[in-house]
């Protein structure tokens, strides 16, 4: 019995995506508006990269996917998630909906449950959530530690995160754990002196929940100590800031050259001025996560203020078990349009190219030659349906690093149509 010859040459691994009624490229060099829109378009993929993008007559390719007049866009880049946790806090959500305020203390409940969970249980739970993200069109996601809060548990979460993504964030300063409630500065000592040496080699980013309005979070001095120590270990900063009220987070983000300041629900005029002044010098991206405000019945931020000041804005899910247990980037886009004052095009850019900017990446969030072949498919003729049809499952991942997902299976045409592989657990994200 002979095996069929395996495709070996680059040419043979080419895949053409065609039949695209509307293609969002985010490529400014096309000079087709802020989203680099092409119509009647195609994308040629070689291996895990985009080889060419165009409109009109497509080139020949050995494998062909016809999306039948739908919209294709770069996969969503979710630059802020907390997907490594155990336990269920749905009762806390119900209590909040009965009128109890969010104080940040619920994080300690998840810390207790996460410490008690086995590696296998955590891995299986997170794999299911990552698959949920992919099924909705998210192709890159950042993942934070922060529910361990001991040296060993934080390191364990970072090792597990590496099974799912390269965008790994050390968030040892997520909350002061219960055992340090009477002495938060001693916990900051632990983070700086014992956690960082163990955890820094396992992460790319450092994050701090800088929020003087929460008794479980960290003030300006504590945040500065963690960021100073972490940057000495080579970690790059990003911050939770100004979520529950005006605070020092945005100013610290500028001072420490953070890639992003996230939440930013309460930006002061001075914050906007600082962020705008830093913007031309690779200053922090402002990342809004409106499902948090939705799920906590909190007032929404006004995205127009940073946008109109020239600050780069990203959208992310903040999927976490307490304040926002949703991984939906499409719903995030819809809310940003409905409640944050963004146009559909601004929101779509922020959820793709904006997320890439918040991760300081130029190979994702954009569809141009050389970029990663991460494509989202919208079961609609226009990108605007993302905001126009909230809550409707229109988007899915079509290609993840060039690999067709189950959503692509029915779209293969021609003699070289092939079965698809699933691309969930352990895949690059």
Q: Which is nearer to Zn ion, 251 or 318 (CB)?
A: 318
Q: Residues 318, 321, 324, 344: which binds Zn ion (CB under 5 A)? A: 318
- C-alpha dist (Å) from residue 68 to 19, 138, 408: 5, 21, 12
Q: Which is nearer to Zn ion, 109 or 394 (CB)?
A: 109
Shortest Å, Cβ 307 to Zn ion:
22
CA angle 393, 73, 135 (to 5 degrees): 35
Q: Which is nearer to Zn ion, 70 or 82 (CB)?
A: 82
Shortest Å, Cβ 82 to Zn ion:
6
Residue number of the CB closest to Zn ion reads: 318
CA angle 91, 92, 94 (to 5 degrees): 60
Nearest to 341 by CA among 377, 371, 368, 315: 315
Which among 69-77, 196-204, 318-326, 332-340 is the span making contact with Zn ion, rule CB under 5 A? 318-326
> What distance in Å separates the CA atoms of residue 48 and residue 152, rounded to the nearest whole number?
35
Alpha-helix runs per DSSP H in 279-403: 290-296, 304-308, 329-339, 344-349, 355-358, 385-388
- Compute, in degrees rounded to 10, the torsion defined by CA atoms 235, 307, 287, 353: -80
Structure tokens at 64: 């062909």
DSSP per residue over 237-249, as a string? EEEEESSSSS-SH
Nearest to 91 by CA among 327, 328, 322: 322
Shortest Å, Cβ 241 to Zn ion:
11
Q: Which residue has the tokens 């497509």?
A: 58
Q: Which is nearer to Zn ion, 297 or 421 (CB)?
A: 297
Shortest Å, Cβ 240 to Zn ion:
5
Q: Which is nearer to Zn ion, 14 or 154 (CB)?
A: 154
> What distance in Å separates the CA atoms of residue 240 and residue 316, rounded to the nearest whole number?
12
Shortest Å, Cβ 209 to Zn ion:
7
Q: Which is nearer to Zn ion, 18 or 145 (CB)?
A: 145
Q: What are phi and psi of 256, to 5 degrees?
A: -95, 10
Q: Counting contacts by CB under 5 A, is residue 142 touching Zn ion?
A: no
Q: Which is nearer to Zn ion, 260 or 427 (CB)?
A: 260
Which among 65-73, 121-129, 315-323, 367-375 is the span making contact with Zn ion, rule CB under 5 A? 315-323
Shortest Å, Cβ 284 to Zn ion:
15
Shortest Å, Cβ 228 to Zn ion:
21
Which among 17-25, 160-168, 215-223, 311-319 is the span making contact with Zn ion, rule CB under 5 A? 311-319
- Report which DSSP code applies to 292: H
Which among 25-33, 270-278, 312-320, 394-402 is the span making contact with Zn ion, rule CB under 5 A? 312-320
Q: Which residue has the tokens 């780069």?
A: 312
> What distance in Å separates the CA atoms of residue 220 and residue 118, rounded to the nearest whole number?
35
Give the binding-site size for Zn ion (rule: CB under 5 A): 1
Q: Which is nearer to Zn ion, 239 or 373 (CB)?
A: 239
Shortest Å, Cβ 198 to Zn ion:
22
Q: Which residues bind Zn ion (CB under 5 A)?
A: 318
């Amino acid at each position: 019995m002979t095996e069929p010859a395996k495709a070996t040459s680059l040419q043979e691994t080419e895949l053409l995506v065609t039949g695209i009624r509307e293609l969002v490229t985010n490529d400014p060099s096309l000079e087709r508006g802020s989203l680099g829109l092409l119509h009647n378009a195609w994308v040629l993929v070689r291996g895990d990269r985009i080889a060419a993008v165009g409109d009109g007559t497509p080139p020949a390719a050995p494998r062909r996917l016809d999306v039948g007049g739908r919209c294709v866009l770069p996969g969503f880049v979710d630059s802020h998630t907390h997907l490594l946790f155990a336990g269920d806090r749905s009762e806390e959500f119900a209590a909040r909906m009965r009128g109890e305020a969010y104080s940040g203390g619920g994080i300690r409940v998840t810390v207790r449950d996460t410490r008690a969970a086995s590696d296998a249980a955590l891995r299986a739970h997170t794999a299911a959530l990552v698959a949920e993200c992919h099924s909705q069109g998210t192709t890159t996601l950042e993942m934070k530690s922060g529910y361990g809060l001991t040296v060993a548990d934080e390191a364990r979460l970072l090792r597990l995160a590496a099974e799912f993504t390269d965008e790994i964030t050390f968030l040892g300063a997520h909350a002061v754990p219960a055992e340090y409630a009477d002495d938060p500065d001693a916990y900051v000592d632990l983070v700086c002196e014992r956690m960082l040496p163990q955890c820094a080699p396992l992460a790319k980013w450092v994050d701090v929940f800088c929020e003087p309005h929460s008794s479980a979070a960290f003030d300006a001095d504590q945040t500065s100590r963690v960021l100073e120590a972490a940057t000495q270990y080579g970690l790059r900063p990003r911050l939770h800031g100004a979520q529950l009220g005006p605070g020092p987070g945005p100013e610290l983000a500028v001072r420490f050259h953070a890639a992003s300041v996230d939440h930013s629900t309460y930006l002061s005029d001075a914050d906007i001025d600082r962020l705008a002044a830093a913007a031309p010098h690779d200053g922090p991206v402002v990342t809004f996560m409106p499902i948090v405000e939705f799920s906590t019945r909190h007032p929404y931020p006004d995205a127009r203020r940073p946008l109109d000041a020239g600050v780069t804005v990203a959208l992310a899910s903040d999927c976490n078990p307490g304040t926002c247990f949703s991984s939906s980037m499409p719903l995030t886009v819809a809310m940003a349009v409905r409640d944050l004052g963004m146009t559909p095009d601004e929101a779509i850019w922020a959820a793709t190219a904006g997320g890439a900017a918040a991760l300081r990446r130029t190979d994702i969030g954009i569809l141009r030659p050389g970029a990663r072949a991460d494509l989202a498919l919208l079961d609609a003729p226009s990108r605007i349906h993302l905001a126009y049809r909230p809550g409707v499952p229109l988007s899915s991942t079509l290609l993840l690093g060039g690999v067709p997902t189950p959503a692509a299976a029915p779209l293969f045409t021609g003699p070289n149509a092939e079965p698809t592989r699933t691309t969930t657990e352990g895949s690059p994200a």
